[in-house]
């Protein structure tokens, strides 16, 4: 610093000194903010040390990547509620039960999960498992064309490619036929979506808009948050939830992944209203407006036969606006409820300490805990970090399998015993656990659970258990990259 100052004029020196002093003061203030606001003590200490020692470098990184709380989301819902109280009350009724009050009548895993997440159960639904892109897009387009009153859709990624244009055409036709069509997309996930595509659907009458995480002065640095949900609601009666976005790659139409392994679920029944409530909450944030066409039934759902699990489901909507770590609580609850097996399929493996502890406790009880991740990478930092956690889990006796069948494995699925399956958008990584708005559908229907179990058995059959000996055989640059990538795991 002294050498640099010697080369500057007196006025330049003063400017530099003011800048350095201001940056140092901002670094100290931000370090205090980190100590008070960052969720884990380890991360708080790391940020505080960096902000004090290297404020010029760390300060912008902290305000973009260090935030774990999404500001303003609940305020937006309250703002809409001031003018549309009945609608917002309906959303709360569909999504939330009374906090810290056990309401479950049984001790099934689904009942316990619903209690932990303060989310209500839904009965008398029917389900269809959608395995891979062909089944997903066929059902998606069919459901859009069948809509009579309104369509709500939310995707993280939409492409202007062959399937993206077919998707747009279906939306345009329903909008032109007088159906209300509302589409939310994530502005980061859809950064490559063309203006031509957006103009086409907008001109046809589709209410299309970005989720817009950076609304308001207080949210200007919220670049690191994502709306990762994928959902479709048709007339408040039918819905689709899963891990697929809209793009040709999800049909295996890309060279590096000629087969895209993914899963979604189609539901017909009352739980569709709860998925609709998730969309409504996000729409309130994005627009500060109501959904006047939405149908909210207040008729109580009856349980046909006591103890009957057919058609039971619960919506697990989590995100950075939560005041609890509900995504982590979801995984931990399922791990504690498992009695025989706990199988998890996730394209990314960057679990937090709480998830690792819950999984290791389940394994210590003799549960068949296993995790399936892809062999190929679509995000290199996350992929490399996964090697570290793979070895850590192996040391705890939890095998990690890599999907070796041709293509890429992208599904997010959790199976507990023979009585509960979760399918949706939540990965087993820090971003899904703490930074993304996510959605999983938990289903206790025996037929669907059995079908999902058979699906996972086939996936594991074409996978390889990569134990620690494989790790020692990896090239040195992969091992070094794994160590470096692990340092970035809090923001991956």
> Is 230 among the residues known to form the active site?
yes
Active-site residue, selected from the candidate residues 352, 417, 429, 445: 417
Half-sphere exposure of 302 (CA within 13 A, CB side): 2
Contact 126, 311 (CB under 8 A): yes
DSSP reduced 3-state for 248? helix
Q: Is 410 a catalytic residue?
A: yes
- Our answer to whether residue 417 is catalytic in this structure is yes
* Helices 353-364, 380-395: crossing angle, 10 deg rounding: 30
Catalytic residue from among 33, 68, 230, 274: 230
Q: Which among 412, 429, 434, 445 is annotated as catalytic?
A: 412
Mention every residue, 6+ apart, whose C-beta is less than 8 A from residue 346: 371, 372, 373, 412, 427, 428, 429
Nearest of 428, 420, 350, 365 to residue 396 by alpha carbon: 365
From the list 33, 68, 410, 434, the catalytic residue is 410
412 is a catalytic site residue: yes
Cβ atoms within 10 Å, residue 452: 26
User: Catalytic: which of 160, 186, 235, 282?
Assistant: 235
Running DSSP on this structure, what letter comes out for residue 157? -
Tokens of 207: 């209410």
Question: Is 228 designated active site?
Answer: yes
Distance CA 180, CA 294 (A): 10
Q: Which of 33, 68, 228, 266 is catalytic?
A: 228
DSSP 37-64: H-SSHHHHHHHHHHHHH-HHHHHHHHHH
Give DSSP secondary structure letters for 270-327.
THHHHHHHHHHHHHHHHHS---TT-----PPPPPSSTT--TT-EEEEEE-TT-SS-HH
Do residues 48 and 79 make contact, with C-beta atoms less than 8 angstroms apart?
A: no
Enzyme catalytic residues? 228, 230, 235, 410, 412, 417
């Amino acid at each position: 610093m002294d050498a640099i100052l010697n080369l500057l004029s007196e006025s330049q020196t003063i400017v530099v000194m003011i800048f350095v002093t201001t940056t140092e003061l901002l670094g100290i203030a931000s370090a205090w903010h980190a100590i008070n606001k960052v969720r884990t003590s380890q991360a708080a200490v790391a940020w505080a040390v960096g902000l004090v020692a290297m404020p010029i470098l760390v300060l912008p990184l902290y305000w973009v990547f260090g935030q774990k709380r999404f500001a303003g989301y609940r305020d937006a819902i309250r703002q809409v509620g001031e003018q549309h109280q009945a609608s917002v009350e309906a959303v709360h009724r569909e999504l939330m039960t009374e906090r810290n009050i056990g309401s479950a009548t049984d001790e099934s895993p689904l009942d316990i999960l619903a209690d932990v997440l303060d989310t209500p159960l839904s009965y008398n639904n029917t389900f269809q498992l959608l395995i891979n892109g062909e089944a997903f897009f066929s059902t998606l387009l069919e459901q859009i064309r069948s809509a009579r009153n309104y369509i709500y859709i939310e995707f993280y990624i939409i492409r202007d490619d062959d399937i993206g244009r077919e998707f747009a055409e279906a939306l345009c036709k329903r909008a032109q036929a007088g159906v209300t069509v509302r589409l939310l997309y994530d502005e980061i996930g859809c950064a490559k979506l063309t203006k031509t595509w957006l103009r086409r659907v907008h001109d046809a009458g589709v209410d299309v808009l970005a989720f817009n995480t950076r609304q308001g002065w207080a949210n200007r640095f919220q670049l690191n948050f994502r709306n990762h949900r994928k959902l479709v609601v048709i007339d408040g009666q039918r819905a689709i939830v899963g891990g697929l976005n809209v793009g040709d790659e999800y049909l295996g139409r890309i060279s590096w992944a000629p087969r895209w392994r993914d899963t979604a679920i189609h539901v017909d029944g009352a739980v569709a209203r709860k998925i609709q409530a998730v969309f409504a909450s996000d729409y309130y944030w994005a627009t500060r407006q109501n959904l006047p066409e939405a149908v909210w039934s207040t008729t109580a759902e009856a349980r046909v036969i006591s103890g009957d699990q057919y058609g039971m489901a619960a919506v697990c909507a989590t995100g950075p606006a939560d005041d609890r770590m509900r995504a982590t609580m979801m995984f931990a609850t399922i791990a504690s409820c498992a009695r025989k097996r706990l199988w998890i399929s996730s394209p990314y493996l960057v679990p937090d300490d709480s998830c690792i502890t819950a999984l290791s406790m389940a394994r210590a009880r003799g549960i068949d805990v296993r995790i399936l991740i892809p062999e190929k990478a679509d995000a290199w930092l996350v992929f490399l970090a996964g090697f570290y956690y793979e070895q850590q889990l192996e040391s705890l006796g939890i095998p990690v399998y890599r999907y070796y069948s041709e293509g890429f494995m992208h599904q997010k699925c959790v199976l507990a015993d023979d009585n509960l399956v979760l399918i949706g958008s939540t990965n087993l990584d820090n971003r899904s656990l703490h930074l993304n708005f996510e959605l999983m559908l938990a289903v206790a229907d025996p037929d669907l659970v059995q079908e999902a179990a058979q699906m996972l058995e086939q996936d594991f059959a074409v996978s390889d258990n990569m134990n620690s000996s494989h790790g020692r055989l990896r090239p040195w640059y992969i091992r070094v990259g794994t160590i470096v990538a692990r340092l970035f795991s809090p923001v991956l």
